[in-house]
A and B are shown apart, each in its own frame.
Chain A
Amino acid sequence: MTSSDDSVPPSTPSHDNGIFSDEPAQISSPPSSPPGFPWEQQKNNTTTPTRPAISAFSVLGKRKALADIDDNMRPTKKVAQTAESKPLSQMQISLGQKVQQKCKLCGMEYVRSSAEDRKLHDKHHKQSTEGYDVGKDFVQKAPVGTIFDGVAKEDRIFTVYCYDTAPRKRRAQAVLQIAQRDLGAVPISEEDVWGYKNEDGHVGRTSEPRYRAYMYIRKTKCIGLMLIERIKEARRVVERDAARREAKKGACPGNGSALSTLQARRQAAEKAELEAAKHPIELSRTSDGAKIGIARIWTSPTHRGQGIAVALLDTAVKHHDERVDKKVVVQVVDRQGEVVAKQNDTAVCLTDATCEPLEKLRGKEDVAFSQPTAAGARLARKWFGKLYGWHVYID
């Protein structure tokens, strides 16, 4: 997976050119995309155009001949060589129009007049509005035991991990990159997530992998992703002292009717939630044991609020326990020889036959979030069903 595919949305410094602008060529500077070949850059630098005389509304920009001019071009070297035929470049009209446009839906800023930028935007736009297309094969040829139900009828959750085939890992990595860019998260190296190597530096399918991804796929579009990490310990989110004191103060119940008490309680809960969201989370000094770490969790911006992230979290817990239960069966298979395991080349066989004993989760308290964003904390509070006391782990 090259990073150029999903490179950061381009951005060029915006220019405010007035109607009578005397900024000649900046607008049509090469499109805001990764810089081209060095010799191209050099060429651009050397051809800084002289300022044209300015009259009523200026004609802007030296532009490399647009592709549309190539129509009746013929390969004639002779013409190019004759001294008379100078290459012409198309100017652009400048009336102070916005050169850079921000797409309302996908939020990408791009230069409308550049075909290259438009193409990049189209790609980004499609991905962010419809989700990343993983293709039919990904959905249909998924190994047995890696598919779970989603929220809606045609939704499925697939799990992908390092022992999967390269194309599957590639798709998952592509979505992971989109997610990390959207979250503004520190990228986890591809080798760490999808490499065979485990912590001891041992290469091979010998242990339970450190990372595992769950992809939420609607038809063939991936609209949600969760990356989980095997962890040993996590810290508890604690209530701030000030908040606790305040809560106690407010807690003294008024002696009204049952309804008003209920309302008061509900209001207090809402207030506490708001209060909790306002402050950064505080962690306990001591660590508790935990098993699943939610390293990254992301839903496509246009598909939020549908319970996708919660479905992913539930699936991870369910899947973990399922694997613990199935382990017995798989081990029997394994004792008969590796051939059998390879024949049923399913994810279940290969992992669970080998690794150190998986322990059943004690419940949600064995799940911890890596330092969550504001939205992440909101999700965590919703999923755990409590404002404090859930776990956060530190990478």
Chain B
Amino acid sequence: MNTTCTNKSTVLEARLEQAQLLKKVTYQFSFISLTRMLTPQQVVDAIKDLVQDCNFDCNDSGIALQAMDNSHVALVSMMLKSESFSPFRCDRNIALGINLTSLQKVLRCAQNEDILTVKAEDAPDVVNMVFESADNDRISEYDIKLMDIDQEHLGIPDTEYAATISMPSSEFQRICRDLTALSESVAIECTKEGVKFACNGDIGSGAVTLRSHTDVEKPERNIEINLSEPVALTFSLKYLVNFCKASGLSDSVKLCLSNEVPLLVEYALSNNSYLRFYLAPKIGDEE
């Protein structure tokens, strides 16, 4: 399928059977930066924040992306393993600095079922994207200009979490959405009995408790709680709601908590690929 290869050597070539995946993923990133859009004065600020650039690190194991929001409260880490692409070829490690707004614009031109091929040359100044329609012979091709982004790669240490909760992603999304109406933060308390999402707002308080649950017929409805010690932490719902926009990518979501450590919200994708969000907790003022 690599017919459009020019005389310059192509270093990266990754073909994705469904454009939808990348489309949804990138949507996420622009949202991370959107989280600051709140009061009218800040809208202007947020539009500027929106122009966020990010390095797509490509190597032979896949394409990785890492970005921290401007306020350093949330971090998103994406890994698309080479197995997710067919074929995947990356001869040399390259970092593609892409403006996410531009990427989003181009990806909007793709149909969800299109086959997406990402290509980059050696020392590229553009990244080439080809969308092939599965059912007709339409081929669209786009080039996105790359940017030189000075971005550090942050090593995220492997962490033993005190509590790990797996649940349907739609369930988590619903909880977050419901509680946002009441308050701006949610306390997640995980005990032997189950996990409780509680909030306390101006108009009153609310809590949703989930218990371990196994559904034999629909394993995706399972709720699994693994706990080594009870944990209680509070997080900003604003960020969580934004994370939940990834719910379409995966049926289930994994929340990992430990005291004094950021919350990990993981959406597992096929072939070991993943989309992870880290969120720093809120703590009470000791005044």
Contact A97–B150 (Cβ < 8 Å): no
Give B234 Cβ to nearest chain A Cβ, in Å: 6
B282 interfacial contact with A, CB 8 Å: yes
Q: Of the candidates A19, A50, A91, A98, which one forms a contact with B157 in the assembled complex, judged by CB atoms under 8 Å apart?
A: A19
A167 interfacial contact with B, CB 8 Å: no
Within 8 A of B (CB), among A80-100: 84-99
5 A-B pairs besides A47-B285, A68-B36, A96-B155 with CB distance below 8 A are A57-B262, A62-B283, A68-B42, A69-B238, A119-B45
A52–B261 CA distance with the chains assembled, in angstroms = 11
A72–B248 CA distance with the chains assembled, in angstroms = 27
A88–B223 CA distance with the chains assembled, in angstroms = 29
Of chain A, the residue at the smallest CB distance from B285 is A87
Contact B155–A19 (Cβ < 8 Å): yes
Q: Of the candidates A49, A54, A97, which one forms a contact with B72 in the assembled complex, judged by CB atoms under 8 Å apart?
A: A97
Please name all residues of chain A whose beta carbon is closer than 8 Å to the beta carbon of B200 when the two chains form the complex.
84-85
Q: Identify the B interface with A (CB < 8 A).
A: 35-39, 42, 45, 48, 68, 70-75, 150, 152, 154-160, 180, 183-185, 200-202, 234, 236, 238, 258-262, 278-287
A58–B200 CA distance with the chains assembled, in angstroms = 27
A56–B156 CA distance with the chains assembled, in angstroms = 9
A153 interfacial contact with B, CB 8 Å: no
Q: Of the candidates B48, B157, B234, B283, which one forms a contact with A56 in the assembled complex, judged by CB atoms under 8 Å apart?
A: B157
Contact B261–A71 (Cβ < 8 Å): no
> What DSSP secondary structure best describes chain A's contact surface?
loop
Per CB-CB distance, the 5 closest pairs between chain A and chain B, nearest first, are A56-B159, A91-B280, A95-B154, A88-B282, A113-B72
Give B164 Cβ to nearest chain A Cβ, in Å: 14
Contact A71–B286 (Cβ < 8 Å): no
Number of A-B contacts (CB under 8 A): 141
Given A50-B286, A59-B281, A91-B281, A104 and B260 contact (CB-CB distance below 8 Å): no
Please name all residues of chain A whose beta carbon is closer than 8 Å to the beta carbon of B284 when the two chains form the complex.
86-89
Of chain B, the residue at the smallest CB distance from A46 is B287
A-B contact pairs, 26 of them (CB 8 A): A19-B157, A56-B158, A56-B258, A59-B281, A67-B36, A67-B38, A67-B42, A68-B35, A68-B38, A69-B185, A69-B236, A70-B38, A72-B180, A87-B285, A88-B282, A88-B283, A89-B283, A91-B73, A91-B262, A91-B280, A91-B282, A95-B156, A99-B72, A112-B72, A118-B70, A122-B48
A119–B258 CA distance with the chains assembled, in angstroms = 35
Of chain A, the residue at the smallest CB distance from B156 is A95
Contact B282–A89 (Cβ < 8 Å): yes
Given A69-B236, A69-B238, A122-B48, A93 and B75 contact (CB-CB distance below 8 Å): yes
Within 8 A of B (CB), among A21-80: 47, 49-50, 52-60, 62-63, 66-74, 76, 79
